Structure 1
Amino acid sequence: MLDIAEELNRWVGHGRDFAVATVVAVGGSAPRGPGAALAVDSEGTVIGSVSGGCVEGAVYELCRQALEDGTTVLQRFGYSDDDAFAVGLTCGGVIDILVTPVRADTAVRADTAGQHADAVFATALAAAAHGEAAALARIAEGPAELRGRALLVRPGGSYEGSLGGHPELDRTAAAEAQAMLDAGRTGTVVIGEQGSRCGQPLTLLVESSVPAPRMIVFGAIDFASALVSVGKFLGYHVTVCDARPVFATRARFPDADEIVVDWPHRYLASTETDGRTVLCVLTHDAKFDVPLLESALRLPVAFVGAMGSRRTHEDRNRRLREAGVTERELARLHSPIGLDLGARTPEETALSIAAEIVAVRRGGSGVPLKGAHTPIHRVDSVA
């Protein structure tokens, strides 16, 4: 649900009732992962997707029904061998969908804030829409009277709302959600009804909302402008850094979230990075590249790539070795950056770079799917 939080937050603000269908779990080949959502408001307006089109019609009807009767339901969709045109995933997978109605008046009433599930949903949507870190835990499977209950967990372990059972249940659920929030993961976890891992189990869907991962593009060149646009499309918070103020301008990079005029290695040393951060070095100049990469290759980031010809790559590696960079550290460098797409234009080159970043992030091979024997839809270890 949090993947469409910005629009749903507007719906709440406009007083629009809606029902939201959220992918709880997937099996086999399925196009969308846990947390993917589709929502329908009282006028029949639809946003989001849970299956890339396979079961959207049936999910739409479930949402309309939930708006009418106010009931939270869990529905499974799978492939139909008898009728390929029946409701199901023709790709052969199975998905579980949780459909929850949300009443706008209950969501915004002060006397229900912090307890009623609708109010918890509204708070979670506002947090996600504003880029705040939070985790929403909902009962997906368990006693009918508890299904749909919600708990919102903030960094540090504080929480609001209730799952409606024993207080120990809320504390245990909050701890599980906190662990998933720390990892930036969305998925399910099973806990016992009284907060232990024994007794009647409850399945929680935990959706983590974390700030967008960072992409830092070093080098304010024409290729960088195209890469910034692609990075934004992929959901990154994109920063452009260059030591030359005449090139690092808002006019040249209108899509960038930040534009920094500074020496690349100095900026990298002063800014925050984490295990999701992507560093793209397009400076193509040894005086910038070497000190920058010397630092970058020692940081626990997701990806470090550098542009240049194979001759530039060999010369840069020689300089990095002379600067004390180890072979193990050099092995982390994706250079020349990008997949071999035969790219020529800045836009094509940006696409090849983005393709390599996605392949590294998702564990893809980068080879054509035609003739390959690898799964098309992979199970992510990290959201």
Structure 2
Amino acid sequence: MSAGPGLAAAGEEWLAAGRPFALATLIAAEGSAPRPVGTSMLVAEGGIVRGSLSGGCVEADVVGTALEVIAEGRPHRRRYGYSDHTAWEVGLMCGGSIEVLVQPVRDRAEAAGLAALLDEAPAAVLWRTDAPGRRAALPLPAADDPVAWRAPLAALLAEEPGTGSGGASGADGIPLRRLAARVAEGVAAGRTGLLGGDELCATGLPELFLSVHRPAPRLVVAGTTDHAAALVEQGRLLGYDTTVCDPRATFLTPERFPAAHRIEVQWPHRYLAAEHAAGRLDHRSVVCSLGHDPKIDDPLLALSLTLPLAYVGAMGSRRTHAERMRRLAERGTTPADLDRLHSPIGLDLGGSTPAEFALSVMAEVVAVRGGRAAPQPLRSTTGPLHGRIPA
């Protein structure tokens, strides 16, 4: 989920001043939609805007809808798509289509549950699209537990036939525990989007929207060179929680790594083992070894390749890579794990400076996380332009 920078603070400021606003959320997208599902935008009285939904294609119409929503106090749902008839009609010129749900937030009662949606704290928010003011929010990791969702779901569905007050079944006998399991499964997968499907629609249950905000993905860089500093800066720019780790303290200083969220003067493999044991790494995490020292690189890579990480890369020449692969095999790293190592690291973009190196590495990370085994120029591809990196 992508609420956007400063939305929570803006909403709080407007509420404190008694100023109503509307929350516009991208709840569905098809084709080449420029922003991911879950992206939100705030519109206050007077047309003051925070955030964006499409990069400029539909914002003007959304603002007009939002002002109507504030005045009427009722949510509106709009669908926008490319128009073949006239370029002046509101739509997405990129060729995709999106659905936007605009809901009023006129006081703190209507803001209940929005803090978890707009704040950066890890949380999952569930609401009914027919009554978006009715929301349920659970913090992570509690939201991964189906049992934790049963009571909030019962409250959300309480007005529907057959649900009762906190009953065990939904309309027409869908067990609440099965619906809770679906929600928890979506949270665990980081899946922001509509929760419907034929099973729910056939029962008359309301359509639900699940918004999941997980902590930023981790980028752990081993090394103290200018290339490491540039990689950390590029990673932070892309929204990663960045760590530089190296046992040599001389060059590992905040002044050399201003973009690092944290600096760890210790052996990287020990640090990574501790982070894994503490549950602070996941399937989105990235590890890059740039140390050029086998004493540091080899144990880190040997461990990293056994963990369920998104990307493991190592810097070095082709000769260095061949020698590294031999050493890792001698340490017992399996052929399947060795296949996961991105070395020499990065894509061949033709650059040479530390900044260009960092761009090539993070470009490869984006491609790997987005399932692009062999990235190509967009002009040589077909289909939607905007990929979706799994949450």
Q: TM-score range by the shorter chain?
A: 0.7 to 0.9
TM-score, scaled relative to structure 2: 0.86
Aligned to 1:269: 273
Work out the number of aligned pairs and report it: 362
Are 1:190 and 2:190 an aligned pair?
Answer: no
Matches within 5 A, 1:268-347: 268-272=272-276, 273-347=281-355
TM-score, scaled relative to structure 1: 0.87
CA 1:330–1:374: 2 relative to 1, 3 Å: farther
CA 1:34–1:164: 2 relative to 1, 3 Å: farther
Shift of 1:123: 4.6
Tell me the secondary structure at the aligned position of residue 225 of structure 1: helix
Aligned to 2:228: 224
Instruction: Name stretches of at least 5 consecutive residues in structure 1 with no aligned partner.
Output: 108-116
Matches within 5 A, 1:67-78: 67-78=70-81
Give me the CA root mean square deviation.
Answer: 2.3
Q: Which amino acid aligns with 1:329?
A: D
Aligned to 2:137: 152
Amino-acid identity (%)? 44
CA 1:2–1:374: 2 relative to 1, 3 Å: closer
CA distance, structure 1, for counterparts of residue 307 and residue 13 of structure 2: 41
CA distance, structure 2, for counterparts of residue 379 and residue 254 of structure 1: 30
Matches within 5 A, 1:93-242: 93-103=96-106, 105-107=107-109, 117-125=110-118, 128-129=119-120, 131=121, 133-140=122-129, 142=130, 146-154=131-139, 155=142, 156=145, 157=148, 162=156, 165=159, 166=163, 167-168=166-167, 174-190=180-196, 198-242=202-246
CA distance, structure 2, for counterparts of residue 150 and residue 164 of structure 1: 12
Shift of 1:175: 4.4
Aligned to 1:113: none
Aligned to 2:356: 348
Instruction: Name stretches of at least 5 consecutive residues in structure 2 with no aligned partner.
Output: 171-175
Are 1:27 and 2:30 an aligned pair?
Answer: yes
Over 4 Å off, 4+ runs:
158-161, 168-175, 195-198
Moved more, 288-297 or 7-16: 7-16
Preserved CA contact (<8 Å) 2:201 2:207: no
Tell me the secondary structure at the aligned position of residue 202 of structure 1: coil
Shift of 1:85: 2.5
Which deviations, in whole Å up to 9, do the C-alpha atoms of 1:178-197 show, x marking residues without a partner?
322222221111179xx967
Tell me the secondary structure at the aligned position of residue 4 of structure 1: coil
**Residue from 35, 49, 52 that aligns with 1:46:** 49
Preserved CA contact (<8 Å) 1:153 1:174: no
